[in-house]
Amino acid sequence: MLNLVLFGAPGSGKGTQSAKLIDEYGLYHISTGELLREHIARGTELGKIADKYISQGQLIPDELMISILDEVLDNEAKDKPGVVFDGFPRTIPQANALKELLSRRGTGLHAVIGLEVPEEELVERMLKRGKDTGRADDTLDTIRKRLQVYHNQTQPLAEYYKEEGNYLPINGSGVVDEIFAEIAKGIERTTGHKRRK
Ligand code: AMP
């Protein structure tokens, strides 16, 4: 098993690097943001609730987010050689829940990859993504709120995982493939898993 958390501010490249991780290690990708956006697009009950929070740049309540994740682990992610958690956990209660959900399944987290990118670059990247993809929460006002939420609620998790001893800081500025090479090196060093290519 190889269970990884891709950790970082909004716009730090979690989605881009996740795609490479699943490709090179054969892992199952859980992006809580994507999952919620799919529900919004399909107009489900969950989508309606999620939209209220996402459009304000706020986090979906922990209990709801944790129960969604529990379900994904029981269904789509079951029997996979491991999971990339992208955008989860985002709060200390979510991190505690993740530990519990994995240990209940006889496994745990092997590494937390922290993508570190300066704030001005994050804003630039998200504004560009908003233009290119039309993503509704990539507007300057909502970006500012999301960054504030990140600093208040999510960033403390870096300390949490440093204390656990599995935090792997990565410079997330620069060329995608070079950043990935650093991630792969860190994974090999800490878990012994090698990339496929
Ligand atoms: P992302 O695509 O990861 O940037 O997530 C987009 C939005 O979805 C966030 O701004 C939150 O409103 C919501 N979201 C995604 N993941 C979580 C989570 N783990 N906990 C709470 N809200 C989340």
Residue 158's pLDDT is 97
Give residue 181's domain range: 2-26+81-191
> Residue 42 catalytic?
no
Q: Is residue 63 part of a domain?
A: no
| Residues having CB within 6 Å of any atom of ligand 1 | 10, 32-33, 36, 53-54, 57-60, 65, 87-88, 90, 94, 146
Q: Mean pLDDT in the chain?
A: 97
Single pTM value for the model: 0.96
pLDDT tens-digit map of 37-68: 999 999 999 999 999 999 999 999 999 999 99
Give whole-number Cα distances, 173 to 115, 117, 162, 186, in Å: 9, 6, 21, 16
Residue ranges of E strands in 79-194: 83-86, 111-116, 167-171
> Residue 135 catalytic?
yes
Domain count across the chain:
1
* Ligand 1 centroid from CA 39, angstroms: 13
pLDDT tens-digit map of 80-112: 999 999 999 999 999 999 999 999 999 999 999
> Residue 195 catalytic?
no
- Find the catalytic residue in 20, 37, 90, 125: 90
Q: Is residue 73 part of a domain?
A: no
CATH of the domain at 93: 3.40.50.300
Q: What is the residue type of 183?
A: I
Q: Give 177's contacts (C-beta < 8 A, 6+ positions apart).
A: none
Q: How far apart are CA 76 and CA 50, in angstroms?
A: 21
Question: Would you place residue 4 in the very low, low, confident or very high pLDDT band (cuts 50, 70, 90)?
Answer: very high
Q: Is residue 186 part of a domain?
A: yes
Question: Is 197's pLDDT higher than 90?
Answer: no
Q: Is residue 14 part of a domain?
A: yes
Q: Is residue 74 part of a domain?
A: no
Q: Is residue 53 part of a domain?
A: no
Q: What is the residue type of 196?
A: R
Q: Is residue 197 part of a domain?
A: no
Q: Is residue 44 part of a domain?
A: no
Q: Is 21 helix (H, G, I), strand (E, B) or coil?
A: helix
